Amino acid sequence: MTRELDPLHWLDRHGDLLFRFALARVGDEALAEDLVQETLLAAWKGREGYCGSSSESTWLVGILRHKIVDHFRKRSEISLEALDLDLDRWFDDRGHWRHPPGAFLDPQRSHDMDQLKQALKICVGHLPPRFRHLFYLREVDGLSAEQIRKLLPASSTNNVWVMLSRMRFQLRQCLERSGFGMVGEEGR
């Protein structure tokens, strides 16, 4: 059974979902709005190809996901030098932590889980756009490094792992500054 599309009501029915999905991934309201508009236009142009095997909203989110990936493909690579990470301070020659991350405190005793979620949301929001996109691809969408390599302009799967490590390093620093985890004197 093929489902019918209702393009006249897409914005009313799915606009909020599409906007929140895009905003969480790009971190910029104007850009999120543009991506939603591009999605609706692409859906309108491709509506004859809709086979009805998924819901209308799932189909639209799939188009939006491709628009977001295309956006990040068009952007230039992040210069690691511009991030000003003192990686030698944190990692040895083999790429292992010089000082392992501190154990997170028991959330029941020290922080409410909602505070951790809020801190993580803020920290993800402070990531550079490419790393924020990478976070959502890996940690939210659950894509493998190989799948991410195909979506991003990454030369190898190893390059994706390097970017994931640097993204997680930045998240760790931000969460520790927010009071989650323990930082020894050597990490300050």
Here the tokens at position 141 are 């969408």
Residue written as token pair 């989650």: 180
In the chain the domains, ranked by start, together with CATH numbers, are 7-74 (1.10.1740.10), 87-187 (1.10.10.10)
* pLDDT score at 187: 44
Task: Please check whether residue 41 is in contact with residue 84, taking contact to mean a CB–CB distance below 8 angstroms.
Answer: no
* Residue 23 vs residues 7, 41, 47, 124: alpha-carbon distances, Å: 22, 18, 24, 12
* The model's pTM: 0.53
**Residue 91: helix, strand or coil by DSSP?**
strand
> Left (φ > 0), alpha (ψ -120 to 50) or beta: where does 95 sit?
left
Binned at pLDDT 50, 70 and 90, residue 186 comes out as: very low
Task: Please check whether residue 52 is in contact with residue 2, taking contact to mean a CB–CB distance below 8 angstroms.
Answer: yes
- The set of residues, in sequence order, having a beta carbon less than 8 Å from that of 39 and lying 6+ positions away, is 18, 60, 63, 64, 67
pLDDT tens figures, 134-169: 898 898 888 898 888 888 878 888 988 988 999 999
